[in-house]
Amino acid sequence: MKSCMLATLLLPALLQAQPTAPNAEPLTNQQADAIVATDMAARKAKQEANAPVFRVLERRSIVLPDRTVTMNRVAPPNASSFTERPQSPEMSPAERQALQEEMATIKTVSLSVWVYDRSVSRLVWHHEGQPYVAWVPADLNPCRTIRDFTVGDQHYQLSMFLQNEDIEALKERQEAARQEGVDYPMPQIPALPESQEGVTEYFVESESPNTPLNAAAFDGIEALLAYMDASHESLVNALQRQEAISEARKRYQAANPPSQNVQINYWNEE
């Protein structure tokens, strides 16, 4: 354990983390657009296949400035008009017990992360009711693609809130707030040394740097950083694919805006 003026430095233990995420290749815009188009076409086909079939008896349309509202009086539907959803098979007591035992062995890592300029990350979490804050001289955005991971023989589930912040944008907000007479404190980002290659370090905020810390409070953080180091390339590629798909969906929605028209089907009870 080393210390500096504002924080206590801990190095992740030499955990046996193995990359388990598949190392998919990054996506081009064209590939992302094709994936989104195929997905949307499949969704539309499924919706049309599952849509109930009505026999229209009377139709009235109201044309508004921005949409058309169509009201259909239809024949009362019968059971065949609707597609029955398949029921999930019920678990047996033995299966339920096995699942509960398996879930009991899984540890949950819950934390909030603020990433500044995609280069420095602030981590906040709780352990046994005690809050902890740590700084990492790295971008934790690749961890957004993690749902669960394994380090050694231990399996973890990750529950993480992450927000990206731009320092210049924060300064502009602070100046705008100052002009309005409002206090807008800036985050106090400590000067952090670069981590060793392949080993992401973290610095824990501590009012008493010489006081020993509860090692159990850092188990999940160390496991997450060890897994991030071992799987860095695959996680970076997974994040790129995730962001490429997100941008492709925006392009698809801009090119194919949803219809504002409304159709209402109703029937008279006999």
In this prediction the pTM is 0.78
The H or E element that residue 202 is part of is strand 202-205
Contacts made by residues 267-270, CB under 8 angstroms, sequence distance 24+: 267/73, 267/74, 267/75, 267/76, 267/77, 268/73, 268/76, 269/76, 270/76
Q: What is the mean pLDDT of the chain?
A: 87
- Cα 18 to Cα 15, 27, 142, 216, 234: the distances in Å are 9, 24, 16, 22, 12
Asked if pLDDT for residue 211 goes beyond 80, the answer is no
Which amino acid is present at 248? A
Which residue has better confidence, 152 or 195?
152
Q: What is the mean pLDDT of residues 73-93?
A: 76
| Residues contacting 231, CB < 8 A, separation 6+ | 17, 19, 20, 21, 149
Q: What percent of the chain has pLDDT over 70?
A: 87
- Would you state the pLDDT for residue 53? 85
Segment 25-41, tens digit of pLDDT: 999 999 999 999 999 99
Give the residue from 243, 235, 202 showing the smallest Cα distance to 221: 202
Asked if pLDDT for residue 1 goes beyond 60, the answer is no
- Would you state the pLDDT for residue 50? 85
- Would you state the pLDDT for residue 2? 36
- Cα 40 to Cα 44, 74, 227, 249, 263: the distances in Å are 6, 29, 34, 9, 21
Note the Cα 224 to chain centre separation in Å. 15
SS3 51: coil
CB 117 within 8 A of CB 169: no
Give the residue from 159, 62, 72 showing the smallest Cα distance to 112: 159
CB 195 within 8 A of CB 220: no
Segment 26-81, tens digit of pLDDT: 999 999 999 999 999 999 999 888 888 889 999 999 999 999 999 999 998 876 65
Residue 52 dihedral angles phi and psi, to the nearest 5°: -65, 145
- Would you state the pLDDT for residue 46? 92
Q: How confident is the model at residue 15 (pLDDT cuts 50, 70, 90)?
A: low
Q: Which residues pair with 127 in a beta bridge?
A: 130
Which amino acid is present at 135? W
Instruction: Return the top range by mean pLDDT from 97-101, 190-194, 198-202, 246-250.
Output: 246-250
Asked if pLDDT for residue 207 goes beyond 80, the answer is no
Beta strands in 21-78 (DSSP E): 56-63, 68-74
CB 11 within 8 A of CB 201: yes
How big is the CA angle at 118 (ends 117 and 121), to the nearest 5 degrees? 95
Q: Show the tokens assigned to 33.
A: 């657009």
User: Given the structure tokens 């912040």, which residue do they identify?
Assistant: 165
Return the domain boundaries, the chain: 1-14+99-244
